[in-house]
A and B are shown apart, each in its own frame.
Chain A
Amino acid sequence: MRAIADIATDRIIQVTTTPGDNELTTVNGRYLVPIPEGVAVDITSSSYLTPQDANSIPGLAASGLLVRYPMYDNVLFNFFLESSDMSSVQYVPAFYPAPPPLGFTITKTRYQAGRVVGPDPIGLAPNSMAILPANTYKASPAPGLLQFYYSLAVSAREFLVWWKVSKMSVTEDIVSGYDMTAGTNEPAIKSYDEYEQEPGDLVVMISNDNGANWSEVNRLEPLDIGSVGSDLQLAFINKGSDKIYLTAFAVLFATP
């Protein structure tokens, strides 16, 4: 299930089922807000996206995950809808893994995003956060890295992470008066590509001690780190050659 909203007004204009992998959805002038699989959210004419409180669609979607996974009692979420959603993005990586299991040395974050600080408009557009493809042309290949930091009010050691990733494609805007293509007038079509949610090139790591120790986490698989901590770091690493868009994520955790 997903809501489709108008990018100019943030109003919900459509609610649809989630299509299968590799099915395209045209998103010119609009954006998608994914609802996690298995979560039911009633969307009515009074539903709203922002502010993202407990009764907003993102809030209901995130708390719906708690209902699905009742061993957790808190959920933090990011659908990249408001400027404040950018405040958790890290410029400087805390993530410096030893080569295995990634085979990369990480020295920089590599992602696509709006500005975190500065005058408005801040530059955040929904569905536009992306983890860049790996740069393999360097002597020391650099994967894409998008990293977040949250200071939790409580310490936690048990986590479960949900995310929604996608690919985007944009066709060429063609107006032709030449030869066989004369009269062609095609707009650029931006398409949201429903995509495998655990692509082999995507690695997600989590830390609850501000990056001192990292654990790889799989989508919707419970993880017990073993020691409690409140400085949460979440790293999305792209080892592949395609840009991966991160539409949303949620982290469920349990207070000990």
Chain B
Amino acid sequence: MNLISYKDMSDRQFKEWAEARKKLYRSVLLNPSASEEQKALAKKKLEITGPRPK
């Protein structure tokens, strides 16, 4: 099986992926009409955009 997770990406691709993910889910957090459930999910999604686990 050829499988790549965000942990396996090249540094450049991880940075691009993390930036795109932050942009996507921060907009949910800033959206006043988003539900608490949606905001909690967005926060969870943003947890893995920080330093990459080794």
> Is B30 part of the binding interface, using a Cβ–Cβ cutoff of 8 Å?
no
Contacts A70-B20, A70-B24 given; indicate if A77 touches B6 (C-beta within 8 A): no
Show the binding face of A for B, using Cβ within 8 Å.
Answer: 52, 54-55, 58-60, 62-64, 66-68, 70-71, 73-79, 85, 87-88, 150, 153
A87 to B3, CA, bound (A): 14
- Give the residue of A63, A78, A153 whose beta carbon is less than 8 angstroms from that of B4: A63
- Chain B interface, DSSP helix/strand/loop, else mixed: helix
Number of B interface residues, CB 8 Å?
A: 18
Cβ–Cβ contact A74 & B10, under 8 A? no
Are B4 and A75 interface neighbours, CB within 8 A? yes
Residues of B within 8 A of A71 (CB): 21, 24, 45
Q: Give chain B residues whose Cβ lies under 8 Å from the Cβ of A55.
A: 10
B16 touches A67 (CB 8 A): yes
Q: State the B residues within 8 Å of A (CB).
A: 1-6, 8-10, 13, 16-18, 20-21, 24, 45, 48
From the candidates B4, B16, B21, name the one contacting A74 in the complex (CB within 8 A).
B4
Output the nearest chain B residue to A82 by Cβ-Cβ distance.
Answer: B2
* Interface contact tally, CB-CB below 8 A: 62
Q: How far is B6's CA from A74's CA once the two chains are assembled, in angstroms?
A: 6
Q: Is the interface of A mostly helix, strand, loop or mixed?
A: mixed
Contacts A54-B8, A73-B48 given; does A67 touch B2 at CB 8 Å: no
> B9 to chain A: which residues have CB within 8 Å?
54, 63, 66
Check A64–B45 contact: CB distance below 8 A.
no
Residue of A nearest to B3 (CB): A76
- Whether A66 pairs with B17 at a CB distance below 8 angstroms is yes
B2 lies within 8 A of A76 (CB): yes
Tell me, rounded to whole Å, the shortest Cβ–Cβ distance linking B49 to chain A.
9
Cβ-defined contact, B13 with A76, below 8 A: no
* Contact in complex: B2, A62 (CB < 8 Å): yes
Q: Which of chain A's residues has its CB closest to B16's CB?
A: A67
